[in-house]
Amino acid sequence: MRLILLGSPGAGKGTQAKFITEKYHIPQISTGDMLRAAIQDETGLGTTVKQIVESGQLVPDAVMIQLVEQRIQQSDCIHGFLLDGFPRTVPQAEALRLRHIYIDFVIDINVNEEELIKRLSGRRIHPASGRVYHLLYHPPHIAGKDDVTGEPLIQRPDDQEDTVRKRLSIYHQQTALLRDYYMQQAAKHMAQAPCYAEIEGHAAVEVVRDKIFSILTIKKGVSQ
Please give the residue ranges that form the binding site for ligand AP5 (CB under 6 A): 7, 9-15, 31-32, 35, 52-53, 56-59, 64, 85-86, 88, 92, 119, 122-123, 132-134, 137-138, 158, 167, 201, 204-205, 208
76 and 27 Cβ atoms separated by less than 8 Å: yes
Pairing mode of beta strands 131-134, 123-126: antiparallel
Active site residues: 13, 88, 123, 156, 167
Distance CA(52)–CA(61), nearest Å, equals 13
- Among residues 16, 58, 18, the alpha carbon closest in space to that of 158 is found at 58
Identify the bridge partners of residue 110 per DSSP, sorted by sequence position.
Answer: 200
Nearest approach, Cβ of residue 59 and ligand AP5 (Å) = 4
Identity of the residue, 208 or 212, whose beta carbon is nearer to ligand AP5 in the bound complex: 208
Whole-number minimum distance, CB 97 to ligand AP5, in Å? 15
If we measure between CA atoms, which residue out of 166, 187, 168, 186 comes closest to residue 176? 168
Q: Which is nearer to ligand AP5, 44 or 221 (CB)?
A: 44
**Min separation Cβ 159 and ligand AP5, Å:** 7
Q: Give me the half-sphere count of Cα atoms (radius 13 Å) on the Cβ side of residue 195.
A: 15
Residue showing the smallest CB distance to ligand AP5 in the complex: 32
Yes or no: say if 87 and 93 are a contact pair by the CB < 8 Å rule: yes
Backbone angles phi, psi at 6, to 5 degrees: -105, 160
Nearer to ligand AP5, 9 or 194 (CB): 9
Instruction: Indicate the residue among 112 and 220 with the shorter CB distance to ligand AP5.
Output: 112
CB of 114 to ligand AP5, least distance (A): 13
Phi, psi of 76 (to 5 degrees): -70, -10
